[in-house]
Structure 1
Amino acid sequence: MHHPEKASTDKNRKRNNKERTESMSSSHCFENPPALNPAGGVGEVVDDFGGQKAYVAGSAGSKAAVVLISDAFGFEAPNLRKIADKVASSGYFVVVPDFLHGDPYDPSNPNNPGMWMKSHNPQTAFEEAKPVIAAIKEKGVSNIGAAGYCWGAKVVVELAKVHEIQAAVLLHPSLLTVDDIKEVKCPISILGAEIDRSSPPELLKQFEQVLSDNSGVSSVCLNLLDL
């Protein structure tokens, strides 16, 4: 039996996924790749943290932790590890999981980014993040926040929808919709870039309006034009 409503829903879902991929594809992140360094940072790389290879920094005895989720270039990006070390120096236990599994975006591959996105779904990373957070909790950590860059921002929002974290930070986010932001259930800060085709100022304004209408969630939404 043909179900026109289901067919329409499936068509809309495919169109939304295509739009998200195109949004990610146009990101400036892809145009300025870092020189990856697997040995970078003052922390250490562990082979299994909640089932994931990860860069960790800071004291495991801390009662507060931050999970940093990378953009498409992965957890070996030098600036990401510098940020992890700086956050750790403020007293946090920091975990930077390799949700890309050693396969960061490669600008030299002509099939990217479309093919890369198909095999690196943020929804998969969201599911993989749950055991990582559980492993942090097993260390006695009572407060966990997460910050995501570009691709990683989508993963953080998924965590923020289901009470997995107590605070969220999104930096030049991509792949997000207004409906995603409507479902956020923890305090959130969104920091956008002045020029960003993935999340232009107009979209950030929509995010800001949605969050201001949600009295149960404290929020800050800024882009460089506001500073």
Structure 2
Amino acid sequence: MVCPDCFAGYEKPEVDPKGYVTTLHGLQTYVVEPEGEVKGIIVMVPDAFGWVFANNRALCDNYAKKSQCRVYLPDFMQDTPVSVTILPLLNNILRKNSWWNTLWKPLYVAQAIYGMAPFIYYNRFGSSWPIVKSFFTSLRTHEAASLPIGAAGFCWGGKHIFNLAHGHLAPNSKPLVDAVYTAHPSNLAIPAEIEKVVKPVSLAMGTQDFALSVEKTKEIEKVLKGIEEREGVESEVVFYEGAGHGFAVRADPGNKEVGRMAVAAEDQAVEWFRKCFAKVAY
């Protein structure tokens, strides 16, 4: 199911990327190096706007600066992300306080559908999961053979994050990831995809997320806590009061409170990886 909130939000007005672009394991990849010794690797599995979206690159920059980790943002969508031109269209569709906007809404909807269709078609989980899994397998075999790996996923990327946490192994018998973090994931199979988790999971959710309700999130939390009690796999679920879907990446720059929560979610991810990586030794 596709929710309009998955494609709504705001692009940061001014972003000065700190990283560089290279080709890594067959995918174009945005890379950010930390200052000093590399403590681990964080891979972002992004929202529908993909690896070129300024907000996603800015988030990678912040992760690298705060965590002392190298950060990768690969083109998992292979040049089929949603265009940022969809953002104002979806914001207009979701806005309810203008008769003029209501008059034009059918046109906005048609343009949005046209813009989203290629992404939805080419990036179904059955098509994208092998690409994501292959990248992490190669990463573990090469650059991260002796470093911890964390995966951070948003919206579209969240489903991949939970699947990465299922304990898949690389050819060197090491796990593809050591810990995962996701904010406002979408299209999850609950509880099926949650019950298979064997790696530490941190989840950031807004209480006004219409793609994944508070009730469903609490169901996820209950399953994760059960796994923690039985298997000792750590987890955390943090609710952000009043935040909606996409707040950790596409927050309204004019809303200071939502902006504060976006930064808090960013810090949640960094602290989670720092905590989990400290327990990993290869």
Q: Please confirm whether the aligned pair reaches a TM-score higher than 0.5, indicating the same fold.
A: yes
CA RMSD, Structure 1 to Structure 2 (Å):
2.6
**Aligned pair partner of 1:152 in 146, 149, 157:** 157
Identity of aligned residues (%): 26
Q: How does 1:18-167 map to 2 (within 5 A)?
A: 22=1, 25-32=2-9, 34=11, 41-46=17-22, 48-58=23-33, 62-89=38-65, 90-106=67-83, 107=86, 108-111=111-114, 113=116, 116-137=119-140, 138-139=142-143, 140-163=145-168, 164-167=176-179
| Alpha-carbon distance in structure 2 between the residues aligned to 1:177 and 1:135 | 27
Deviation at 1:63, TM superposition (A): 4.4
SS of residue paired to 1:197 = coil
Output one character per residue of 1:110-167: Cα deviation in whole Å (capped at 9) or x when no partner.
Answer: 3354553222123433221233224433124421010100000111111111342110
| Equivalent in the alignment of 1:199 | 212
Q: How far, CA to CA, are the matches of 1:185 and 1:195 in structure 2?
A: 28
2:195 aligned with 1:218: no
Match of residue 171, structure 1, among 146, 168, 183: 183
**CA-to-partner distance for each residue in 1:189-219, whole Å, 9 max, x for gaps?**
1111121111111110000000111132210
Offset at residue 36 of structure 1 (A): 9.9
Cα separation, 2, equivalents of 1:132 and 1:115: 22
Contact 2:80–2:122 at 8 Å: present in 1 too? Answer: no
Segments of 5+ residues of structure 1 without an aligned counterpart are 1-21
**Displacement after TM superposition at 1:72 (Å):** 0.4
Query: Aligned with 2:42: secondary structure?
Result: strand
User: Would you say the 8 A contact 2:44–2:60 is kept in 1?
Assistant: yes
Q: Distance in 2 between matches of 1:205 and 1:168?
A: 18
Matched residue of 2:7: which SS?
helix
Residue deviations 1:28-61 (CA, integer Å, cap 9, x gap): 2312253799x95110011x21111110111597
The amino acid across from 2:69 in the alignment is: Y
> 1:222 deviation in Å?
1.8
Count of aligned pairs between the two proteins: 202
Q: What displacement does 1:180 show?
A: 0.7
CA contact (8 A) 1:57 1:94 kept: yes
Distance 1:100 1:213, change over 3 A: same
